[in-house]
Structure 1
Amino acid sequence: MKTFILGRTKEEVQRLIPEKQIKTVKLGEARICVSRDGEDYFAFESHCPHRKADLSRGFLNGIQEIVCPLHEYRFNLKTGQVSNAQCPDLTLYKTELTEEGLKITVPVSM
């Protein structure tokens, strides 16, 4: 596992990741999506596990789920579980907001 840091302060992270927006970032070799809902930050794989649609084109609903733009599959951003379909769960990455920025941990092999 490798930990990356986005931003240099909590305030900068809030500006980089606007409320309920989905940003794509490249961390090492990994391309992932990052979003936030209030003080909760989420990092997840950039493509839907169903048909590989670009999740940065999806949206966050009111119950902390990412909704895929292709078939509207919904994935819980705290567990990764799909809630309305039959497909693999979404891969999530650990996030931690600190005074030094947003820490995101991803597998080294990505």
Structure 2
Amino acid sequence: MLKRLLGFFRSEPIRIEGSSKLPEGVAHKISVGDPVAGTGRDVLLVRLDGEVHAIDNQCPHAAAFIADGALVEGKFLVCPLHNYRFDPKTGNCVNASCRKARRYKTVEKDGNLELYV
């Protein structure tokens, strides 16, 4: 239990090689963590305006998932269950009253990505 609590304060990044190849305007789903230990999750990586953003694949409004693939209008992630649209830069839902999608810190260096979950 103490180890888990300390993990919130000392988060080690997950290194993702070759993030420079992530195309602009496309969400790419990756799996991180250990699903057996209950720490696994799917994260969407999105390059938008040259920066990589990371959003949890779980939609905040229901037991649904935000879709990967091409962004709607070139800038929005979409939950296909209710057509809610999320801004990858902020996590805000832009077309409905819905909580923000969970975002994760990213740092891109030398063509690779550090993802803090």
Number of aligned positions between the proteins: 101
Contact 1:23 1:56 in 2 (8 A): no
Is residue 70 from structure 1 mapped to residue 81 from structure 2 by the alignment? yes
Quote the RMSD (CA, aligned, Å).
2.1
CA separation of 1:34/1:101 partners in 2, compared to 1, >3 Å: closer, same or farther?
Answer: same
Provide the identity percentage. 30
TM-score relative to the length of structure 1: 0.76
Q: Which has the larger radius of gyration?
A: 2
Contact 1:67 1:73 in 2 (8 A): yes
Question: Secondary structure at 1:55's aligned position in 2?
Answer: coil
Distance of 2:46 and 2:66 partners within structure 1: 11
Distance of 1:76 and 1:94 partners within structure 2: 15
TM-score relative to the length of structure 2: 0.72
Contact 2:44 2:68 in 1 (8 A): no
CA separation of 1:34/1:104 partners in 2, compared to 1, >3 Å: closer, same or farther?
Answer: same
Which sections of structure 2, spanning at least 5 residues, go unmatched? 1-10, 34-39
Question: Secondary structure at 1:94's aligned position in 2?
Answer: strand
Is residue 13 from structure 1 mapped to residue 19 from structure 2 by the alignment? yes
In structure 2, the partner of 1:3 is 13
Contact 2:28 2:68 in 1 (8 A): no
- Quick one: which amino acid aligns to residue 75 of structure 1? F
Deviation at 1:51, TM superposition (A): 2.2
CA separation of 1:98/1:45 partners in 2, compared to 1, >3 Å: closer, same or farther?
Answer: same
Alignment of 1:1-110 (within 5 A): 1-7=11-17, 12-15=18-21, 17-28=22-33, 29-57=40-68, 59-62=70-73, 64-99=75-110, 101-106=112-117
